[in-house]
Chains A and B, each alone.
Chain A
Amino acid sequence: MAPAAPMGRGGSRAAPAAAAPPWHVLPDEVWEHAFSFLPADSDRGAAAAACRSWLRAERRSRRRLAVANCYAASPQDAVDRFPAVRAVEVKGKPHFADFGLVPPAWGAAAAPWVAAAADGWPLLEEISFKRMVVTDDCLEMIAASFRNFQVLRLVSCEGFSTAGLAAIAAGCRNLRELDLQENEIEDCSIHWLSLFPESFTSLVTLNFSCLEGDVNITVLERLVTRCHNLKTLKLNNAIPLDKLANLLRKAPQIVELGTGRFSADYHPDLFSKLEAAFAGCKSLRRLSGAWDAVPEYLPAFYCVCDGLTSLNLSYTTVRGPELIKFISRCKKLQLLWVMDLIEDRGLAVVASSCNKLQELRVFPSAPFDAAEQVSLTERGLVDVSASCPMLESVLYFCRRMTNEALITIAKNRPNFTCFRLCIIEPHTPDYTTHQPLDAGFSAIVESCKGLRRLSVSGLLTDIVFKSIGAHADRLEMLSIAFAGNSDLGLHYILSGCKSLKKLEIRDCPFGDKPLLANAAKLETMRSLWMSTCSLTLGACRQLARKMPRLSVEVMNDPRRRCPLDSLTDESPVETLYVYRTIAGPRFDTPACVQIV
């Protein structure tokens, strides 16, 4: 870097004895302060790549670290490089683990991360784990190792029980957030809630909605009463309705509420109690819960509808006019998650009432039942995308779609950033023309220039992948299932899609050639998943040889017990998971997973 002229006084004054130093030798603290204004990790990473002094300043001042793949680097690497981290997020298993495609005991243990953090980051305040195996020992170590621990977020994790939660409750004196989302938690019948000491009042977020067992309501009430800053409370199914009313009276400042199981026989007294309790919650903005067919109680919520910005009814079986009436009163909604029981006519009402909608997710109520019972079609999505100008994120499960609908949607909403369409039956064509849905999805990627996430479904040929490869410049994550007709499809994707980070493919006729031809692309991506495609072991071996900085994992059919070395190059590979890593091959694979 060429030395710049001294700033400030310059040479026009006499004797610049106190001239300002050249800008590039400013002390590290100044750079650290400058970097603190860069919110995005990618910007900080870019700054760190500029020169050595910036690298030094940036890494020493990094407070928040997100490790998107727990095997991309070792925990020790992370601690060594960023010694001042206060908040860490680590993600483990690949996304398709959510749907049962990853064998049990695959890996993603949180223990090495907790151990390294306990050693190298004693001031750690926040931990988020997603799709990882977290044991009770991990939770005990967290409670014991970090004096100022404040935030624990576990999403889609497993391996721990209420005993681990008890350790957190008892040990983390400054805990602000305990956020448990969709985890598998074993119930040891330990009253973990009562282990928060009476002096403990710092809780801001408490989410135990995924817990199966009972909780002591009295203890919960006392906890809620003394935590005056509680803003988010998400209950589990064990809390009955009348107790909910009591809790709300003790926490009227609540902003986000998960009601747990909201079902009881109708009693006018209980209704009035609930209505009064909700009327007191003037700050309530986000609502969720598992509501079982109690339309009679919905009007108790009417007083909060005006203020609601987020509504998650995706576990609600209420249908028909009561549901629609309720949603139509929520004019400020920005986020709506709902079951397909809302049907097209319900979505039409959403379209006309909820003009501020930004995110819509429609989940299937009967995903495994082929009989058509619910009248939710492409019509609903077309209506919403036509009338909601701020809509940018969609997840939509339906049973039929047309190219025309997709083209209309693309024209109406070029501002989509996330478009995930799941037509439930594989290989479903346009139901009016019986053509593949290539034209429709092509329209989406051509129109939505900011698209970052896309899931395609229905009958699709290689043509759609040519469009995606050519037009989806900002696309970071792409999910493909039961689509394409030849190697060309995969080749289009890997040779295009400039920003692609994660690619997950299942049940497509993609083979070895495009994989090997685009091997270098894989190092620019975070990971690639291919299951039930047409890959052979030989190609995987070649890929591993060619690209030493990739980890090439092959998952065998669990029925086949023979070791990988004895199999020929021609053997088919059921599942391939490739990711870039600086940590080398991992050593914690189960028997059915092998690193090539």
Chain B
Amino acid sequence: MSVETERSSTESSAASGLDFEDTALTLTLRLPGSAPAPAPAAVASLSSSSSSAFPDADRKRASSDTDPDRSSPLAASSDAAPAPKARVVGWPPVRSYRKNALADVAGSSKANQAAKFVKVAVDGAPYLRKVDLQAYAGYDQLLRALQDKFFSHFTIRKFADDERKLVDAVNGTEYVPTYEDKDGDWMLVGDVPWK
């Protein structure tokens, strides 16, 4: 199946140094067999992988408008834009627990930080949605938000090998979140550390 090969190709490709800061991101939910539309440098997509095939696959597509000037304190790659102010590790002394909670809270309030919006496409939905990657502290939260935004009847099932899938409880279709990174490879969401 095309999805199988797709997934095996993503699993075999090494986790690239994905730098969300200066790549454009697109999230897509796709059914097996549907070809990816031409996308900007990095694309994130959610592809369904179950055996039940939908003849008419709609598509949700996501692309991001990231701010390339925003600096990442942990970016090892040197191709990030130079930071206007270098962040010192561990300063100001705010606990990591609080930092994560602030990220949650900032996502829902009028954001103090620049939002990293990413378009999300889901196969079978009539229009796209945008999510703010800054608002979530981890993949679990992102998936939960996608679940909220799209289908209330989706549940998230976590598998033993740390893969995450969105499952449509109504008809059992599994949707696998994937994205296309800057090299144009389709990657399974969750391999690279969140930040």
Contacts and interface: CB of A to CB of B under 8 A. Distances in A.
Contact of B92 (A189, A210, A263, A424): A424
Interface in B84-125: 85, 87-99, 101-102, 104-106, 108-109, 112-113
Contact of B95 (A98, A263, A368, A422): A98
A586 B65 CA distance: 50
A524 to B, nearest CB: 26
Q: Looking at A96, A99, A237, A293, which has the most chain B CB atoms within 10 Å of its CB?
A: A99
A585 interface: no
Contact of B112 (A189, A210, A293, A373): A373
A292 B98 contact: no
Contacts of A96: 90
Contact of A99 (B87, B93, B113, B158): B93
A366 B96 contact: no
Nearest to A317: B109
Contacts of B113: 366, 368-369
Contacts of B141: 212
A99 B91 contact: yes
Interface residues of B, number: 27
Interface residues of A, number: 37
B89 A100 contact: yes
Contacts, number: 76
B11 interface: no
Nearest to B137: A212
Contact of B96 (A98, A212, A237): A98
A315 B109 CA distance: 12
A292 B93 contact: no
A481 interface: yes
B140 interface: yes
A100 B92 contact: no
A426 B95 contact: no
Given A182-B97, A367-B94, A373-B112, A426 B88 contact: yes
Contacts of B97: 156, 182, 184, 210
Contacts of A422: 92-93
Given A189-B158, A212-B140, A373-B112, A99 B101 contact: no
A419 interface: no
Interface string B132-164: 000000101100000000000000001000000
A551 to B, nearest CB: 23
A365 interface: yes
B156 to A, nearest CB: 9
A292 B108 contact: yes
B140 A293 contact: no
A98 B158 contact: no
A424 B91 CA distance: 8
Contacts of A579: none
B109 A292 contact: yes
Given A100-B89, A100-B90, A101-B90, A290 B105 contact: yes
A315 B97 CA distance: 11
Contacts of A210: 97
Interface string A207-226: 00010110000000000000
B92 A364 contact: yes
A315 B92 contact: no
A182 B98 CA distance: 9
B158 to A, nearest CB: 6
A367 B92 contact: yes
Contacts of A290: 101, 104-105
A132 B41 CA distance: 42
A370 interface: yes
Nearest to B95: A98
Contact of B87 (A213, A263, A293, A368): A368
Interface string A396-440: 010000000000000000000000001010100000000000000
A115 to B, nearest CB: 28
Contacts of B91: 99, 426, 481, 506
Interface of B: 85, 87-99, 101-102, 104-106, 108-109, 112-113, 138, 140-141, 158
24 contacts: A96-B90, A99-B90, A99-B94, A182-B97, A187-B140, A210-B97, A212-B138, A212-B141, A290-B104, A292-B105, A292-B108, A317-B106, A363-B94, A364-B92, A365-B102, A365-B112, A366-B112, A367-B92, A367-B102, A422-B93, A426-B88, A426-B91, A506-B91, A507-B88
Given A290-B105, A317-B106, A364-B94, 17 more contacts: A98-B95, A99-B89, A99-B93, A99-B96, A100-B90, A182-B95, A187-B140, A212-B140, A213-B140, A293-B108, A315-B101, A317-B108, A363-B94, A365-B102, A367-B92, A369-B113, A481-B91
